[in-house]
Structure 1
Amino acid sequence: MIINKHRILKVTVLTYLLLAVGMSFSYAQKKNKKASAQAAQLKSGAAVDYFMDGVRYALTDDNAKAVSAFEQSLRLDPKNAAAHYKLAEILLQQNQYDQAVDHARQALALDKSNEWYYMILAESQLRSGNASEAAATVETMLSKTKAPPHNYLKLAQLYLQQNQVNKALTALDNAEKALGVDEEVVALKQRLYLNQNKPEEALAEGEKLVSNFPHQNIYALRQAQLLINLDRKAEAQKYLESYLKKNPEDPEALFLMAKTYEQQEQHNKAGDELLKAFSSPGMAIEPKLQEAAQLISQLPNVELEASLLQLTNAIKEAHPEDSRAYAISGDYLLAVNRKNEARGQYLKALEFDESNFEVWQNALTLGMELGRFDSVAKEADEALMLFPNQAALYYFSGAANLSLNQYDEAVMALEQGKKLAASNKQLSSIFNSHLGDAYNGLKRYDLSDAAYEAALAINPNNPYILNNYSYYLALRNDKLQQALEMSKKLVELEPENPNYLDTHAWVYYQLKEYDKARNILEKALKHADDADGTILEHYGDVLFQLNRKEEAVQQWKKAKDKNSTSELIDKKIQDQKLYE
C-alpha cells in the first residue's frame, strides 16, 4: 500500500494545530481564572477596608460617614452580616426603627447563630412598637443560640409589656432552671403573683431564698415584711420570734416586730421594740426617720409624747453626727410646742449639714416667733451665703432687722427679696408690707405709702397691712380720712382684736373725735387679757383731752408698768400734763 506522504503531513500539521489551539485555550482559561480570583480578592479586601472605616467612624460618633462606609462595604460584599448589624445599630440610635429592623433581619438571614443579631432585631422591633415580635425574636434566639440564660428575664419583661403574665412566669421558670434560685427572678415572680392575688405562691417564692441562702438574713426579714404587708400579723410574729431567737439583737427584725405589735394596737410592746431598734447604730437611719415622722403626725397624744421623746433621743445617740437625727428631734419638740428646744435642735442639725434649706427655715421661723431677732439676722445672712436665690431668706433678714429698728439693712434685704418674689403675688405683698414699715422708720414716707399701696393692691383685706398703714398715717397726722377707712375695715375684719381697736381709736384721736376714741379704747381694754402700755397710754391721752385729768394720770401710771410706752410717759406723769 502506498502511503500518501502529503496527506500524512497535512494530518500531522492539523493535529499539531489543533493541539496548539487546545493548548492556547487551556492556558487562556487558566489565566482568566487566576485573574478572577485576584479581582475577587481585591474586592473582598476593599469591602473589609470600608467596613473597618465604618467601625472607626462609629466609634467617634461620625454616624453619617459610618453609614456611608458600611453601605460601600455591602455593595462590594452583600453577604457581610456584620455590616448589616452595624447599620442596624446606628439606625436604632437615630430612631429609624423600620430601617433598623430591615438591616437586623438581613444580618440574621446571613448568620442565624449570632445572638447579637437577634438582640438588635428584638430591640428594633420593641422600639418600633412591636413587643410581640420582639418576644418571638428573643424566644428564637434562646432556642437557636447559646445566649446567656439571663435573657429569659428580658423575655419576661417583653411579655409583661403585653400583659401576658403566664408567659412571663414561664420565662422566669426557665430562667430559674438555668440560673438556679436567683434573687431578681424571685422578686419579679413575687410581684406577679401578688398582682394576681396569689399570696401563697408569692410567699413560696420568698421561702426559696430563705431556704437556699440561710445565712442571708435579709431574705428572712423580707419574708416577714411580706407577711406584715399581707396583714398576716400572727404568722409574721411567729416567724420573727423564731428568727429573733437566733438573732436577738437584729434591729431590722426588732423594727418589724414592732410593726406587728402596732397593727394589733399593742402600743407599749411596739414602743419597747422600736426603742431597741432605734438604739442600734447598725440599723440605717432612714426607716427610723420615716417611722418617727409618721408617729409625730399622730400628735397630740399624751401616751405617744413620752415614747417619741425616747425614740428621737435614741436616734441621736445611735447617729450622733447625722444632722437628720437632730432635725427629727426638732420636729417632735415643735409638735409638742417646746419651741425653744426645737430651735436648738434645728441649729444643732445645721452644725452637721448646712445644706438642708427646710431646717434653716424652721430655725429662722422659730427665731422670729421667740423674738431672737439679733440671732435671726445673723443666721439669715449665713443661710443667704448658701442659698442666695431664696426669697424667704431675704424675708427673714429683712423682718429681723426691721424688728431691731435697723431700717437700712431691712430695706436692702426686703428690696432684694421682692425682686426674687416678683412672680409670686402673695409673697410680693408680704415684702411690700414690710417695706412700708421699714421706709416709714427711715421717714421715707413717699416710699412707705407706695409700698403699702402695692401690698394692699394684692391683699386689700390683710389686717397687718391695714393696721400698720393706718396707724402710721395717724401718727403722722396725714391722710386721716384714708386712715379712717382702713381702720374701719380692720375692726370689721377682727372686731375683738385690742391692738386693731387701738389703731382705730387713734385715728379718731387725731381727728379730735375723743369720745369715739374713748369708747373704742374701752372696748379694746375689755378684750385685752393684759393690755400693753401703748393702749393704756393712749387711753390716758384721750381721757386728758376729755378733761378727766386724774383718770388720765392713773392710766399713764399703769402704762409705765407695762412695755411699749412712749418716751414721754415719765414727763406726763411727773407734770400731770399731756405731751405729744
Structure 2
Amino acid sequence: MNRVKNAVLCLLAIWSILPPAKAQETGRTTESEVKLEQLFIEAHRERLLGHFDEAEKLFQSVLKSDRHNAAAAYELGRLYDLNEDYQKALQYAKQAVEFDASNDWYHKFLADIYQKTGSYHDAAQIYADLVGQHPNDDYLYYKWAYLLVQANETTRAIKVYEDLEKRIGLNEDLIRRKHTLFLGLGDTQQAEAELLRLVEAFPENTDYLHLLAGFYGQIEEFDKEKETYQRILQLDPNDGKATLALARSNRQSQDDYHYLQSLKAIFIKPEVSIDDKIKQLFPFVQKIVDTGDQQLGQVALELADILEQVHPQEAKAFALYGDLLYHTGQRREAIKKYRQTLELDDTVYLVWEQLLFAYAEEGEYQALVEAAEEALVIFPNQATMYYLAGMGYGKIGKHRDAIGLLEQALLMAGRNQLLQFQAQALLGAEYHEVGQDAKSIKAFEQALQIRPLDAAVLNNFANSLAQRGEDLDRAAELIEQALKLQPDKAEYLSTKGWVLYKKKDYSAAREVFERALSQGGDEDPLILEHFGDLLYQLQETDQALLYWQQAQEKGSDAPLLEKKIANKQLYE
C-alpha cells in the first residue's frame, strides 16, 4: 500500500511538469480538469497494480477527454509495448511525440518501438535529432551509432564515433568500436590504422600492443605480428603472452617434440600465466591420446612437472599432470595427482569423474566406493557418480547397496542413452546376485534394446542364465552372438562351455573349455575351476583335482572350491 501511495505522489509531481493545460494558461483549475487529473492518476494506479486492461480503458478515457494529451498517449504506448502489441505501441508513441515534441522521453520511447519493429533507420534518425539538441550527451552518440549499425549503415556509424571522438578526444573504447566496424566492412587497412593510432598515442601501453598483435594474427600478417610481440618484450621482457606467442610463431619450423622442448624455458617463468601455459600444452594431450606417441608423452610429462613446481597452489597444474599420466598408461600415478588436485580444489566435477574411472580401471574398488561417496556429497545431482558408486559397491560384494545406487543413476540418466545402457547392464548382474531373477532378465533385455550388439552384456546375460540353469537355449543364443563379435575371448568361450555343461553336453563343453584355456583362460581361476568341474563329470577325477588346485593357486578363495579339493568331490 505504501508503495502505491508513493507512486501516486510521484505521479502528481510528474503531472505538474506536463505540457501547459488550460488551467495553467488561465490560472484557474476547472472541475473537469481536476477530474481529468484524477482519471490519469487512477489509470497509473491500475497499471502499477498490473491491471493493464483497466489501465488501458482509463488512459483511453483521458485521451477521449483531452485529444492532445501527450502523457496519456505515451502511457498507452507503454501498455501496448508491455503486451508486445508493437503496432499499437507505435501508433501512440507517434501521437505522444506529435502532441509534445519537446519531451525527450517520448522521442526515446518512439525510437525503442522502431527498434523492436526492425525500423532501425527511423530509430537512428530520432537519435540523430537528439544529438543535435544535446551535443554533450555521450550516450546519445553511442545509441545513434548502434542503431546505424543495426540498419546496415556502418559507414555512418563510424562517422558518428568520429564526431564523438572530436569532442571527447582519443578514447580506447571508440577506437576499438571503429576498428571492429572497419573489420566488418573488410577494410583491414583502416582497421589497422585505428589500432596504430592508439599505439602511437600510448607507446608504452603493452595492452594496446597486444590488441595490435592479435589483429595481425587474425589477418595472417604473421611478420607484423611477430614484430609487435618483440616490441612488447622490449618494453616488458617478462610478458608471458608475448613470450608464448613468439614460441608459437616459431612452431612452423619445428616438429611437435622440439616445439614442446622449447616451451620449457617459458614454463619455468612464474610470471607467465598458468592458463596461457596450459593453452599451449593442452592440444598435445589429445594428440598423445590419439597416437600413443611415447616420446611426445614424455616431454609433455616433463612440462607438466614444471607446471606443478612453478604453480604449486594451482589445482589445474595437478589435474593436467594427472590426465597426462592417465593417458600414458600410468594410472596409479595419475590417481595421486588427481587426489592432489582435489586437495587444492574439490569443486571440479570432471576431476572426480576421472579419479573414479581410474580407480575402476585399476580394480581398486574399495577406494572407488570411498571416493564416490565423497563426490556425491559435493555433486548429489550427477547421475554418473551414482553409476560409478554402484559399480564399486557391486565389485566389493555389497549388491543391495549397488542396486540402490544404480537405480538412482537410471532415474537421473534422462535422455543419456549411454548411461541408461551402462546402468541397466550392471543392474542385470546385480539383480542376479541377489536372486531377483525376473528383474535381472528385464534389465539385461533393456540394455540390449539400446545396444543389441554389446558383447559383454550378451556374455553376462548368458552367464547369469547358465548359472541358474534357466532358459539354456536363450543363453546359448546370447553367447553365440557374443562370440561372433569376439570369437577368441577366453571369458566368452568359458561361458559357452558352461552353458554346454549345464545342458550336460560334456564332450562339446570340453572342446570349448580347452579353447578358452588356450586363449589365456589358464590364468583365470573361475575358468580353471569350471574346467575341473567338467573333468569330474567326465570321471577324470585326478585331472579335475589338478585344475581345482590351479584355480586356488591363481587366487580363488571360493569356499566350495576348498571343499572340492579337500574331499576330491564335486559340489554344486
* TM-score band w.r.t. shorter chain: 0.7 to 0.9
Which residue of structure 2 lines up, in the alignment, with residue 243 of structure 1?
Answer: 232
- Give me the whole-angstrom Cα distance separating, in 2, the residues matched to 1:391 and 1:136: 55
Tell me how far apart the structure 2 counterparts of residues 96 and 460 of structure 1 sit (CA, whole Å): 54
Instruction: Please list the CA deviations of residues 246-302 of structure 1 after superposition, one character each: whole Å capped at 9, or x if unmatched.
Output: 201112222322232235547678547755655555555544444333231222444
Counterpart position of 1:406: 398
Percent of pairs with identical residues:
29
TM-score, length-normalised on structure 2? 0.83
1:199 matched residue in structure 2: 188
Q: What is the CA-CA distance between 1:365 and the residue it aligns to?
A: 1.4
**Matches of residues 291-330 of structure 1 in structure 2 within 5 Å?**
291-299=280-288, 300-317=292-309, 319-330=311-322
Q: Which amino acid aligns with 1:471?
A: N
With 363-372 and 374-383 compared, the bigger mean Cα shift is at 374-383
Change (3 A) 1:201 1:119: same
Q: Deviations over 1:319-342 (max 9, x none)?
A: 544443333332222222222222
Query: Of the candidates 537, 547, 571, which is equivalent to residue 545 of structure 1?
Result: 537
CA distance change for structure 1 residues 219 and 287 in 2, over 3 Å: closer, same or farther?
Answer: same
Q: Would you say the 8 A contact 1:209–1:219 is kept in 2?
A: yes
The verdict on how the C-alpha distance between 1:564 and 1:101 changes in structure 2, with shifts beyond 3 A counting, is: same
299-308 or 279-288: which moved more?
279-288
Secondary structure in structure 1 of the residue aligned to 2:523: coil
Q: Which has the larger radius of gyration?
A: 1
> Match of 1:297, SS?
helix
Partner residue in 2 for 1:567: 559
Show the counterpart of 1:183. Answer: 172
Give the match for residue 119 of structure 1.
108
Q: Give the 3-state SS of the residue equivalent to 1:485 in structure 2.
A: helix
8 Å CA contact 2:206, 2:235 repeated in 1: no
- Map Cα deviations across residues 81-133 of structure 1 (whole Å, 9 max, x no partner): 55554554454344333343344434444555554443222211111221121
Query: Amino acid of the residue matched to residue 382 of structure 1?
Result: E
Which whole-Å CA distance do the structure 1 matches of 2:23 and 2:200 have between them?
70
CA contact (8 A) 2:522 2:528 kept: no
Native 8 Å contact 2:525 2:552 kept in 1? yes
Give the direction of change, closer, same or farther, for the CA distance of 1:220–1:158 in structure 2 (3 Å limit): same
Aligned partners of 2:435 and 2:44: how far apart in 1? 77
Cα deviation digits, residues 470-508 of structure 1 (max 9, x gap): 223333333333322322333223210001101111121
C-alpha contact 1:46 1:73 (8 A) present in aligned 2: no
| 1:41-85 Cα deviation digits (max 9, x unpaired) | 777777667667777776776666766676666667666655554
Confirm or deny: 8 A CA contact 1:436 1:449 kept in the other structure: yes
Is the CA contact (8 Å cut-off) linking 1:190 and 1:203 kept in structure 2?
A: yes
Q: Are 2:508 and 1:516 aligned?
A: yes
1:481 aligns with 2:473: yes
- Paired residue type of 2:148: Y
Distance 1:529 1:511, change over 3 A: closer
* Deviating more after overlay: 66-75 vs 244-253: 66-75
- For residues 428-485 of structure 1, give each alpha carbon's deviation from its aligned partner in whole angstroms, at most 9, with x where no partner exists: 4433332232233223444434443444454444322332232233333333333223
Structure-2 separation of matches of 1:344 and 1:496? 36
State the partner residue of 1:471. 463
Distance, in Å, in 1 between the alignment partners of 2:215 and 2:565 is 78
Give the 3 Å change call, closer, same or farther, for CA 177–568 of structure 1 in structure 2: same
Equivalences for residues 326-365 of structure 1 within 5 A: 326-365=318-357
The answer to whether the 8 A contact 2:521-2:528 is kept is no
Q: 1:368: Cα distance to partner? A: 1.0
Give the AA of the match of 2:456: Y
Distance in 1 between the 2:569 and 2:23 partners? 133
| Distance (whole Å) between structure 2 residues aligned to residue 47 and residue 137 of structure 1 | 31
Task: Find 2:144's aligned residue among 132, 152, 155.
Answer: 155
Alpha-carbon distance in 1 for matches of 2:99, 2:339: 70
The amino acid that maps onto 2:214 is Q
Counterpart residue number, 2:487: 495
Match of 1:15 in 2: none
For the residues of structure 1 that align with 2:316 and 2:251, how far apart are their CA atoms?
A: 24
1:24 aligned residue: none
* CA distance in 2: counterparts of 1:446 and 1:54, whole angstroms: 69
Flag the 1:55–1:167 CA change in 2: closer, same or farther, 3 A: same
Q: Tell me the secondary structure at the aligned position of residue 181 of structure 1.
A: coil
1:367 to 359, 363, 387: 359
Q: State the distance in 1 between where 2:37 and 2:262 align.
A: 71
Does structure 2 retain, via aligned residues, the 8 Å contact 1:47–1:76?
Answer: yes
Q: Do residues 165 (structure 1) and 157 (structure 2) align?
A: no
Secondary structure at 2:130's aligned position in 1? helix
| TM-score calculated relative to the size of structure 1 | 0.82
**Count of aligned positions:** 548
Larger deviation, residues 277-286 vs 167-176: 277-286
Q: CA deviation at 1:541?
A: 3.3
- Which runs of 5 or more structure 2 residues have no equivalent in the other structure? 1-21
1:19 maps to none
Distance 1:542 1:256 in 2: 69
CA RMSD of aligned residues (A): 3.6
Distance in 2 (alpha carbons) for counterparts of 1:509 and 1:170 = 89
After superposition, the Cα gap between the structure-2 partners of 1:166 and 1:309, relative to the gap in structure 1 and judged at 3 Å, is same
Q: Does residue 442 of structure 1 match 2:425?
A: no
